[in-house]
Amino acid sequence: MNSHFLEGFLNPKSVAFYGANNKGSGIGSFQLMGLINYGFKGTIYPIHLKLEEIFGYKAYKKIADVPEVPDLVVIVLPPHVVPQVFRECAQKGVKRIILISGGFREMTGERRNTLTEEIKEIATHHGIRFIGPNCLGVYNNWIYPEDASRAFNTAIWEKVKRGHFSIASQSGTLASHIWFDPDNNDIGLSKSISVGNEADVDIVDCLEYFKEDDQTEVIGLYIEEIKRGKKFFELTREITPKKPIIAIYGGGSNAGRRAIQSHTGALAGNSKTYKAVFKQNGVIQTELVEEFLDLALVLSKKIIPRGKRLGIITNSGGPGAMIANHAEKLGLIVPEFSPALQERLKTIVPKTGSTKNPLDFTFDMNLYNYYVLIPKLIMKSREVDAIIMYGVFGFQDVLKKLLKNEQIAKYADFSSMKENPQIPLEKMLVEPLLKASKKHSIPVFFINPQNYSSPWSKKIREMGGCLFQLWDRPVRCLSKLCEYGLFLNKIEKRKELN
């Protein structure tokens, strides 16, 4: 078990909750409902001055009336009453608080207050650690390792697939809202910590925890400021050779700094400084939320390219040209395949196609050649470090739709296109390709412009493939992934020299 103090925040056995009611109005009610809905097995103690019962749980007038010292207290109350609640929690012996409420350091002008200083003083004096204020709390998909259907959740409205990607964020939105479409998000979440204004617990604490957490393999950060710069530098340098870190820095522009000041009260730093630190320590930086999620998905597959050489397989010349052009502009290399490899490919690729790279298979329906034989030949050649495949269409889905037309159905002979009932198409085409990808440590990105939730797209995703709908995102993602791969190569070379 992780001995870090954050373990208690993520795995409590009892929780006292301020700020919820039965009306479902307000964030406190939603967060308590989340705790209930996602299967928390522990004891819940709602605290309310007027209500006798909240969502079926006995409510208490004050924390002093609760029959035990709760492992964790969650507070969603107006900011001016929070210091008094902290004092009452201290008298009860509480040691962990999640403070959801806003209205503290982020207030400016005549609305500025000293509430942050008050609660920090109370917490320090009584040995209380707290997350927040101005946060959404935490999500732990591994609170019950034997039961993936349950989670400890104050932050996310949806049940998210369990995995090994963990987030620490100074924005509650990035820690929670990115998970609101679980059917179209293939990333498995381990833990999410929304740290808010960081009056006590900060990003560095989260990194210390994730570093030792067995259920965290990839780390995501949203940063507006770093309060302990030296420790952050040391930790990221220690972590990135073993666990990749993806980071979004929200500052850098005048508008960004202004928004951050009003959001958490933080003073954003120089973006060049952050960029230099990230690059030196192998932190993968992005400014795009979609790219943040793409990188998290790909890194979770644990297949890191060794270099920057890209092989492109397509059944249409236009996308191949655009992928190649975009890739080279982002620093990737699209090498022409060697004469020896091209000779082998010519035995498979139609005469109307091209074997140079991009490889254009044209509109040929030999799917086994396209999905399996061609990629395997390219992988075995060791001439590329990654492959992008455009045009992994669900032809079977298209044919089924066409057969709904009476005239087509009357004359069509699609017998050669029928699936083998003994071997599902995805097992015949996608599974062997993914096995080869893992064997050769060459990631493969699939592109299917059909709907992300179409039957064939779903099958690719369910098999573990990294699927994109169009070609811009996989190229950008791959360029960042290759930079991280080169960083790891440098680390390995240093070890060999020592």
Beta-bridge partners for 193: 138, 168
- Residues near 276 by beta carbon (within 8 Å), at least 6 away in sequence: none
What tokens does 46 get?
Answer: 């709602």
pLDDT for residue 182: 86
Give this prediction's pTM. Answer: 0.91
| Strand 162-169 versus strand 359-360 pairing type | unpaired
Could you give all domains of the chain from N- to C-terminal order, each with its CATH number? 6-299 (3.40.50.261), 305-486 (3.40.50.261)
3-class SS of residue 129? strand
Bridge-based pairing of strands 466-468 and 444-447 is: parallel
Alpha-carbon distance 337 to 318, whole Å? 19
pLDDT for 416:
55
Q: Which spans in 413-454 are helix H?
A: 425-440
Q: What is the pLDDT of residue 202?
A: 97
At 186 the pLDDT is: 94
pLDDT beneath 50: ranges in the chain? 260-261, 263-268
pLDDT per residue over 204-216, tens digit each?
999 999 999 999 9
